[in-house]
Amino acid sequence: MPDMTKDQSIKDAGVDVAVTVDETPANPVAESTGKPRGLWGDAWFDLRHRPMFWISASLLALLLVIAAFPGLFTGADPRAGDLTNHYLQKPELGHFFQADWFGYDVQGRSIYARVIYGTRASILVGVGVTVAITIVGGLLGLLSGYFGGWLDAIISRVTDIFFGLPFLLGTMVVLNAFAERKVYVVIAALAFLGWTSICRVMRASVITAKQADYVTAARALGAGTGRMLFRHVLPNALAPTIVVATIALGGFISAEATLSYLGLGLADPTISWGIDIASGSEEIRNNVHVLLFPAGMLSLTVFAFIMLGDAVRDALDPKLR
């Protein structure tokens, strides 16, 4: 990336935030008219010029379509096993989009169909946990940073306590108590322990944002607490939170797969790449394909989200790179 764009975006971000507060901050297409871009417009301008963003965005679009309509990509039933004909059958790499493209697993089920149908659980968990922690952690951080005092003291100490618990370990303990682990149980468990970094980041940026002159000005003009919080402070403190949340998303997908692999996450009949990788791991010496395809698809998905996170971070917070 040329250095000029980076310097320019730092400058623009610094100067324009204060000017464009009262514009709708989520409106990204404001640049062609010649007026100065806001933080979000600038970030969008920056994003559009990154190949990394387009690669990850198209990958993610494809994955979302697969998650929503798996039937479009395969006619095979991911749960139907045929042990007599297909037990551990090797992949036919020439048979594109056919049931035997990626071969069959120990139960004679089409690995291609299972890889396609497994997408939904991973995407649901990743997006679900990220939305949940952004709302919960973001709200707690906003309140804690804006009001300060005893509320801040309580929220910060609770954050410390949850932060002190190793994340994956804690989710293992929580999930272990549930006999039936549906997607929403896994989302709840991951969100229960995953909200702390968002809360801390939001609190820090709210403390910075609330000291700005335009916040004092808005207060002097008689803005109520709700208006102050959601119209003036939040939009200007949101960027670091979005960066952390986007980067965390890939990590949550990886965490779900790890938990399912350990037998502590999703369970049959939910189709999850983690479960398939666990059963494939026993066959690794002779039948690598049972492990390879779900593992590859999982890594590709995490890769797409991490890459998007990188691109969003570079666009929203050029200093961090």
Partner 1 sequence: MGRYVARRLLQMIPVFIGTTLLIFLMVHILPGDPIRAMWGDKAADPAQVEALRHKFGLDQSLPMQYINYMKDLFQLDFGETFGGRPVWDEMSRAFPVTIRLTIVAMAIEMVVGLSLGAWAGLKAGKAPDTGVLIFTLVVISIPVFILGYVARFIFADTLHWVAPNVEDSMDITQLFLPGFVLAMLSMAYVARLTRTTFAENLRADYMRTALAKGLPRRRIVGVHLLRNSLIPVVTFLGTDVGGFIGGAVVTEGIFNVQGVGNLLYRALQQREGSTIVGVVTVFVLIILVINLIVDLLYAVLDPRIRYA
Residue numbers of the site for partner 1 (CB under 8 A)? 1, 3, 157-158, 160-162, 164-170, 172-174, 176-179, 250, 254, 257-258, 261-264, 277, 281, 284-285, 288, 291, 295, 298-300, 302-303, 306-307, 310, 320-321
CA 272 – CA 282 distance, rounded (Å): 17
* Of 200 and 210, CB closest to partner 1: 200
| Shortest distance in whole angstroms from residue 181 CB to partner 1 | 12
Residues 285, 278 contacting (CB under 8 angstroms): no
| Shortest distance in whole angstroms from residue 16 CB to partner 1 | 24
CA 131 – CA 245 distance, rounded (Å): 8
CA 259 – CA 111 distance, rounded (Å): 20
| Shortest distance in whole angstroms from residue 185 CB to partner 1 | 11
CA 205 – CA 163 distance, rounded (Å): 19
* Of 42 and 256, CB closest to partner 1: 256
User: At residue 110, what are phi and psi to the nearest 5 degrees?
Assistant: -70, 120
* Of 174 and 212, CB closest to partner 1: 174
| Shortest distance in whole angstroms from residue 255 CB to partner 1 | 8
| Shortest distance in whole angstroms from residue 120 CB to partner 1 | 18
* Of 215 and 264, CB closest to partner 1: 264
The one-letter amino acid code at 39 reads L
Residue 166 region, left (φ>0) first, then alpha (ψ -120 to 50), else beta? beta
CA 1 – CA 36 distance, rounded (Å): 22
What are the beta bridge partners of residue 104? Answer: 110
* Of 29 and 165, CB closest to partner 1: 165
| Shortest distance in whole angstroms from residue 220 CB to partner 1 | 38
* Of 96 and 285, CB closest to partner 1: 285
- Distance, first Cα to last Cα, the chain: 11
